[in-house]
Amino acid sequence: MKTLVVIAGPTAVGKTQTAIRVAQHFKTEIISADSRQIYTEPRIGTAYPSDEELSAVTHHLVGNHHVTEYYNAWKFEHEALGIAEKLFVNHDVVVLAGGSGLYIDAVCNGIDEIPDIDAELRENINRQFEENGIEHLRQTLKHLDPEYYEIVDLSNPARLKRAIEICIQTGKPYSQQRKEQKADRPFSIIKIALNLPREELYSRINKRVDVMIEEGLEAEVRSLTKYKDCTALKTVGYREFFDYFDGKCTREEAIEKIKQNTRKYAKKQITWIKRSNDYRWFSPMETTGIIAYIEQCIK
């Protein structure tokens, strides 16, 4: 039986390095499940794998879409499954690694094609956002789907609007529809989740942001200003600098907000993973134990 090894966890926990070590052990390749690293242009702020990491193991679905492209979990599911099918021809194990829980769920469980949204409904939701701000979206989603409200990135208006659209269009909570979707896969799935004590994880996040600033994150964001309205860039590390460029905050405040919002995002990622009982939790330092666990499951 072919096996897909999922390596999930919060941002900055060490998924990339762990995935590389696991892939090297099983002499296989990695499919990235990162909704931000899939784009070509934003690199520093997305913790894009280094050239050394990319050369250590072949990575798929990294930097292969332009920020202007519309992309979603349904499209990712079909791309990732197509790649996995080809890889399983020559490999018994394939690694799926990343922090985007919705993308991982799409590959493991399946996701129905997202319904077409009525243009008037979409325009109305966009107008409400423009007139009343993101807090209005949050409260609307909390009313329509309190379960999804608890795990969604509340600072991502695109995610909030999409969930609201689907709730209203279908008349059912988005979280309920996601639970109904369960597809059979021609491979077994082993799910690994990485985590660290909160203080250690938050320290890693803060240090990572400092490194991003040193590597030129501000200049990268400035070079992408013409794309600032693209959904791909309405994300942590980019929107804070766009606010700084627009005079809404100081540079120091922008950097502090990046750290704060990244910590919040990490918390959401952990909450998402804990919804499922399928994951086995490890420290990123337990690579030997992770590999032993995978081998035991395969046997």
Mean pLDDT of 139-168: 90
Q: What is the DSSP string of 197-225?
A: -HHHHHHHHHHHHHHHHHHTHHHHHHHTG
Q: Which of 156-165, 180-189, 227-236, 264-273 has the lowest mean pLDDT?
A: 180-189
Q: Angle CA(273)–CA(111)–CA(123) in degrees, nearest 5?
A: 100
201 pLDDT band (50/70/90 cuts)?
very high
Mean pLDDT of 134-156: 92
Q: Angle CA(86)–CA(92)–CA(98) in degrees, nearest 5?
A: 75
* Residue 295 pLDDT > 90: yes
Contacts of 48 (CB under 8 A, 6+ apart): 37, 42, 62, 63
Please report the pLDDT score of residue 113 as a whole number.
62
Mean pLDDT of 197-223: 98
> Residues in the chain, how many?
299
* Residue 241 pLDDT > 80: yes
Please report the pLDDT score of residue 24 as a whole number.
98
Contacts of 239 (CB under 8 A, 6+ apart): 155, 233
Question: What is the chain's Cα-based Rg?
Answer: 19
Mean pLDDT of 258-286: 95
Where do the domains of the chain lie, and which CATH numbers do they carry? 3-111+181-298 (3.40.50.300), 119-179 (1.10.20.140)
Mean pLDDT of 6-19: 98
Q: What is the DSSP string of 11-32?
A: TTSSHHHHHHHHHHHTT--EEE
113 class by beta-carbon count within 10 Å (0-12 exposed, 13-18 middle, 19+ buried): exposed
234 pLDDT band (50/70/90 cuts)?
confident
Q: Angle CA(159)–CA(163)–CA(164) in degrees, nearest 5?
A: 115
Residue reference for tokens 């399983």: 88
Please report the pLDDT score of residue 54 as a whole number.
96
229 pLDDT band (50/70/90 cuts)?
confident
Please give the model's pTM, rounded to 2 decimal places. Answer: 0.84
Please report the pLDDT score of residue 60 as a whole number.
98
* Residue 143 pLDDT > 80: yes
* Residue 177 pLDDT > 80: no
The more confidently predicted of residues 181 and 197 is 197
Which ranges constitute the DSSP H helices of the chain? Answer: 15-25, 51-56, 73-87, 101-109, 119-132, 134-144, 146-149, 157-170, 174-180, 198-215, 217-223, 239-245, 251-274, 287-298
